[in-house]
Amino acid sequence: MLRARHVALLSAISLGVIATSASAADGTAPVSSAPSPASERPVHELIDSRPGGLTAEVVGLRAAKTSYSARAAEENVRAAAAHVDAAWAAFLPRLTATARYTRLSKFTPPSLAAGSLVGTLAPPGTVNPPTTAIGSLSFPLVLDNYLLQASIVVPVSDYFLKINQAYSAATHSRDAARYDAIGARAKSATEGKLAYYSWLRARGATRVAQDALVDQQAHYSDAQHVFDVGSASRADVLRAETSVAAAELQIERSSSLVAITEKQVQLATHSNDNDKLVPGETLETPLPPIEQDTNALEREAFSQRMELRSIDANIAALRNHSKAAIGSALPSLSGFANGYYSNPNIRRFPMKDEWFPSWDVGAQLVWTPNDAFSGRFGANDFNAQAAALEAQRVMMQEAIALEVLQAVTGAKEAHVAISTAARELASASEAYRVARELFKAGRAISATLTDAQTELTRARLDALNAAVDARVARVKLDHAVGRDAKQLAMAP
């Protein structure tokens, strides 16, 4: 959208420049003037590129590398990777260590009174042995309790019903985040290249405006000379002077656009404001041929566009979340083991104020009816989100198919525009040359020469736009089919 406004503004600036020349046209006598540089300068010289300067590829790579949107997306990748690690940790058996101290309240424990129990000292098997009364019997009371416990729980059923699904969901979410990061870098690279070509277009249009100013100054000099010899009126001179002033204003406007587009390149690459940007790409570089098979390009786009891959990964993640939610509604089987080292140990009778180890092993089956409802509702939620993404994927495919078609037709149109603009420039240059010869010979009026100059300026602007548009179209085509993302994904 911004590039379209730049093209429209550049066209308005250039057409404003060449329109001012018409205001100086009249029927004055022929006067010789210096040839206009606009009739001699090749199109590629409008850019004033230099070896070692910036190219679209360099700007695109810098933009992809320094993009803050890509950096934010990469932080999302780190967060998603952390979720994968957390999901992997759920496969480990749950270990628990406990250290506890308990102070019990004091009370008087019950005891067996003296004479309640009797015993004998006779050997076993003695008939009617003599008995002896045993004194009172009481149990010790330990008020300070200490416990060291280690437990391990193995969630057997959760491995198959929840944990594996949750881990798969986390890995798919991480993949989606990676695709988003690559897509963000590709988008930044494309925007950087488009900003670069907008900058080249503005530089070229400024040079066209400068050439138009030279022509206006030549017409003003001619009008002044004709007025001096009495073959033109003062109004003709003033109109020519007005055209020069208008051309100077158009140069200032186009120069402002150069500054704006150069700032956009600096922002895209996050370079220093003090860095002087010099273009290193020439518009003479031949362009690769355009693919004609739109269906093949669509298939390539469907397989390489990061947006579609991200949606597919997110759908897979949601489906796995749904399976995990259903698994949480089912009974959970787990095995456990505990080791105790306590003082006193409650398994010893009677209790003693001393440390003693013990252990236990078992299995448990737990089912919470509430989880049956919440799990089912959660699964429905995840399935609905996945269905919504599937619909978005279809919409995305349709949009990508249209984007590919627009990019292909735009590239073809730009290719045709290069050849037609070249013919237009050649014929306009020849027409200007003939009109100037006729003007110097006194066989043409000033308006005829002005019209020829106007057509030449328009032709040079069309040639500039055709050369830039051809490169812009290929940048858009590479982005539409996902080739830029593929290159960035393969880059180290």
In this prediction, residue 26 carries a pLDDT of 38
Q: Coil, strand or helix: which one is 112? A: strand
In this prediction, residue 60 carries a pLDDT of 92
Choose the weakest-confidence range: 210-224, 269-283, 377-391, 433-447. Answer: 433-447
> Does the pLDDT at position 399 exceed 90?
yes
**Which pLDDT band holds residue 458 (cuts at 50, 70, 90)?**
confident
In this prediction, residue 456 carries a pLDDT of 82
- What whole-number distance in Å separates Cα of residue 66 and Cα of residue 490? 18
> Does the pLDDT at position 152 exceed 90?
yes
pLDDT in tens, 293-347: 889 999 999 999 999 999 999 999 999 999 999 998 899 999 999 999 999 988 8
Q: How many CA atoms within 13 Å lie on the side-chain side of 56? A: 23
> Does the pLDDT at position 479 exceed 90?
yes
> Does the pLDDT at position 392 exceed 90?
yes
> Does the pLDDT at position 113 exceed 80?
no
The answer to whether the beta carbons of residues 137 and 111 sit under 8 Å apart is yes
**Which pLDDT band holds residue 491 (cuts at 50, 70, 90)?**
low
Choose the weakest-confidence range: 120-134, 160-174, 406-420, 459-473. Answer: 120-134
> Does the pLDDT at position 284 exceed 90?
no
In this prediction, residue 20 carries a pLDDT of 42
Q: Which two tokens stand for residue 119?
A: 């015993």
Domain boundaries, the chain: 2-105+140-490
- What whole-number distance in Å separates Cα of residue 390 and Cα of residue 384? 10
Task: Please state, for a pLDDT cut of 70, what percent of the chain lies above it.
Answer: 82
> Does the pLDDT at position 3 exceed 60?
no
Q: Coil, strand or helix: which one is 382? A: helix
> Does the pLDDT at position 262 exceed 50?
yes
In this prediction, residue 292 carries a pLDDT of 78
DSSP type of residue 334: E
> Does the pLDDT at position 7 exceed 70?
no
Q: Which two tokens stand for residue 373?
A: 């409802």
Q: Look-up: residue for tokens 């110097």?
A: 440
In this prediction, residue 484 carries a pLDDT of 87
In this prediction, residue 233 carries a pLDDT of 67
pLDDT in tens, 225-246: 767 777 666 776 787 787 788 8
Choose the weakest-confidence range: 164-178, 233-247, 372-386. Answer: 233-247
- What whole-number distance in Å separates Cα of residue 473 and Cα of residue 478? 9
In this prediction, residue 37 carries a pLDDT of 46
In this prediction, residue 34 carries a pLDDT of 42
**Which pLDDT band holds residue 49 (cuts at 50, 70, 90)?**
low
> Does the pLDDT at position 442 exceed 80?
no
**Residue with more model confidence, 441 or 333:** 333
> Does the pLDDT at position 44 exceed 60?
no
In this prediction, residue 441 carries a pLDDT of 61
Give me the CATH topology for the region 2-105+140-490. Outer membrane efflux proteins (OEP) (1.20.1600)
In this prediction, residue 361 carries a pLDDT of 96
Task: Please state, for a pLDDT cut of 90, what percent of the chain lies above it.
Answer: 45
Q: Parallel, antiparallel, or unpaired: how do β-strands 137-138 and 132-134 relate?
A: unpaired
| Average pLDDT score over residue span 143-157 | 94
| Average pLDDT score over residue span 442-456 | 72
Nearest to 162 by CA among 81, 86, 91: 91
The string of DSSP codes covering 404-459 is HHHHHHHHHHHHHHHHHHHHHHHHHHHHHHHHHHHHHTTSS-HHHHHHHHHHHHHH
Give 173: exposed, middle or buried? Use CB within 10 Å, 0-12, 13-18, 19+. Answer: buried
**Residue with more model confidence, 353 or 22:** 353
- What whole-number distance in Å separates Cα of residue 400 and Cα of residue 387? 20
In this prediction, residue 166 carries a pLDDT of 95
Kindly report the number of other CB atoms within 10 A of residue 434's CB atom: 14
Find residue 38's DSSP bridge partners: none
Mean of per-residue pLDDT scores for the chain? 83
In this prediction, residue 21 carries a pLDDT of 41
Q: How many CA atoms within 13 Å lie on the side-chain side of 27? A: 0
Kindly report the number of other CB atoms within 10 A of residue 86's CB atom: 12
**Residue with more model confidence, 116 or 170:** 170
> Does the pLDDT at position 454 exceed 70?
yes
**Which pLDDT band holds residue 450 (cuts at 50, 70, 90)?**
confident
